[in-house]
Amino acid sequence: FYVRNANSDGKRIVFQAGGDIYLYDDQKLIKLDIRAPVSGKQKQIFFDESRNVSDYYPISSEEIGIITRGRAFLLNPWEGAPLPFGDNTGFTRYKMIHSDGETVAVVKYDDVVELYDKEGNLKEELKPNVGTITRIAVYKSNLIIANKRGELIVLSSGNKTVLDKSDYGELSDFSVGPD
C-alpha cells in the first residue's frame, strides 16, 4: 500500500497505509492499535432497500403490499413485522402485487397468479394463459389483467372475457372503480 497523510514532528513520522496507522520511530515501524469509542448511531449501517422494491400497492390506510427482491410482503409502515406471502424460499420470484382490501393477488414471473387472504393464506392459484401479464387488479371476485398483447381481460369464476384490445401496443395502466 502507498503511504498516505504522512505527518512528522521532526523525529518521528506517523502515516496511514492500507487502512492502518503506523509510526516510524528510530528505524522501527510500529503498527498502532487505536480504539476509539463509537456511539451506536455511528455504527448503524443504512441500507436503501427502496431501490430493490419492484412493485407496491396500498392495501388500506394502514397496510401496504410490496414486492422486493422477488418476494411478496404485506406490511404496516408504522409497526410490526412484515407478513410474507407465497413461497419465500427464494425459488419463486414475484413481479407484482394488488389488493382490493380483502384479497391480495401476486403475480409470479411465469405469469401464474396467486390469490391470498390478508393473513397470508393461499386461497387460489390461477394459470390464466393470457400471455405476459403487465398489470393486475383485484376487484370483488374479479381479476382484471392487462397483457403485452394489448388486451384488458377480466377473469371471473373461471370465465375469461376480453374487455378491450389496443391496436397500438400494450395497456400500461388502468384503474378499477365501483361503477
Is the pLDDT confidence value at 175 over 70?
yes
Structure confidence by residue, pLDDT tens digits, 45-68:
555 667 778 787 888 888 888 888
Please tell me the predicted confidence (pLDDT) of residue 148.
92
Q: Please give the grid coordinates belonging to residue 12.
A: 518521528
Structure confidence by residue, pLDDT tens digits, 61-108:
888 888 888 888 888 877 888 888 888 777 889 999 888 888 889 999
Radius of gyration of the chain (CA): 28
Structure confidence by residue, pLDDT tens digits, 105-159:
999 999 899 998 888 889 989 898 898 999 999 888 889 999 999 999 999 877 8
User: Nearest CA to 170 among 144, 147, 136, 154?
Assistant: 147
- How sure is the predictor about 171, in pLDDT bands with cuts at 50, 70 and 90? confident
Q: In what order do the strands lie in the sheet with 103-108?
A: 94-99, 103-108, 113-117, 122-126
Residue with cell 448511531: 41
Structural contact between residues 2 and 17, judged by C-beta atoms closer than 8 angstroms: yes
Q: pTM surpassing 0.85?
A: no
- How sure is the predictor about 34, in pLDDT bands with cuts at 50, 70 and 90? confident
Please tell me the predicted confidence (pLDDT) of residue 36.
72
- How sure is the predictor about 165, in pLDDT bands with cuts at 50, 70 and 90? very high
Strand 28-32 and strand 113-117: the pairing is unpaired
Q: What is the DSSP letter of 105?
A: E
User: Nearest CA to 135 among 121, 120, 154, 122?
Assistant: 154
